Each structure stands twice: as C-alpha cells, then as structure tokens.
A = this chain, B = another copy of it.
C-alpha cells in the first residue's frame, strides 16, 4: 500500500469512523465540515487522493459513493487487538497491533472498537477470564459502573469506573485486589474505551 500523508490518514480515519457511526459514508461537505474546510473541494481532493492510492473506491455520480477498500486494521469493521501502547502513541498505531479479530465490530457497537487481551484474574468476578478478548468502544469518558479500559503506563487495564464525591475510583472485580482512587486535582487518567463485548476462545 502506498503511504499516506498525516492529513490523508486523518481523513481515512474519519471516513471509517463516520461509516461505523452512521452506517453510510459522509459527503464531501460533511468531511469539510468536520475538518473546518471552507470549501468542500478540499475534501474532494483528499478523497480522490485516497482513491488514487488504493484506499478507497469511489462511485462516480452517487451521493456518499465511496467504499473503504483497505484491510487496514480498524477500517472495514475488523477489530484490532491492542497489545502495549506507548504513552503518546495513538492506540491504532501499527506497531501496537498484536493481531486482529475478523469480526464486524458493528456486532458490539457503533463507533470504533478495539480489543485487549486480558491478563490475570483482576476482573474475574465480572466473569472476565484470563485470555479473554475484551472489546472496547473507543471513547475518552465513562459512566458510573462501566467497565473501562484505562491506560496505565504502556498497557490497557480493565477496571470498573465510578465517580463518587468528585473522586474517581477504579475498582477491580476481584476482592483480593485494591481499588485505585484518584483524588480530585491529581493528574487525570486516560480512558481508552469502555467495554462493549467479550470474546472467548475455547
């Protein structure tokens, strides 16, 4: 595959995200609106560049007439399994991918999904076993009681998320392990996503 510029990758990512979110692709004007372009021609140019490089197939004359052709993880609904993630590096950077699950992510959620492989028994009382793949929907916030994927160092760990009296509690589903309590004012935590599903093999 021909390499993409930073901007083109952003565009492609947005296309995949919009498609996952809405069930149909965006129009040139919607793309322009999202990125703040004042002329939709800019979006047309990007989309054409993506077609030329083989990432898209365009259908001339048809509204929203585009298909993402690439098998690139996280595009086309396939769920990438994330191993380690560097502090700053985006979660979908290629170097972080361990494998992919050939599953249409729409089974679990609209929106962009990824998976982490569970190590250990910290969520055993939520019936999440060692070796299970937990499917997470990518979002940077969580509701009370959600099982959230939290970025800790260079890994994603799973915890129940609670916000009580202004402080955030990250509670494992295992009585042997202690909750992590984040007092207000301390450095913020980074939520990678919330659990929307689980896959177990064997």
Contacts and interface: CB of A to CB of B under 8 A. Distances in A.
A198 B199 contact: yes
A102 B102 contact: no
Contact of A63 (B64, B107, B108, B124): B64
A200 B201 contact: no
A59 B22 contact: yes
A103 B19 CA distance: 17
A66 interface: yes
A48 to B, nearest CB: 17
Contacts of A106: 102
Query: In the complex this chain forms, how many copies of it are found?
Result: 2
5 contacts: A23-B57, A24-B64, A27-B63, A64-B64, A196-B202
Interface string A38-69: 00000000000000000001010011111110
Nearest to A125: B127
A78 to B, nearest CB: 9
A111 interface: no
A101 interface: yes
B202 A200 contact: no
Contact of A198 (B107, B108, B198): B198
Contacts of A64: 24, 63-64
B102 A65 contact: no
A154 interface: no
Contacts of A102: 103-104, 106-107
A174 B65 CA distance: 45
A104 B103 contact: yes
A83 interface: no
A183 to B, nearest CB: 30
A67 to B, nearest CB: 3
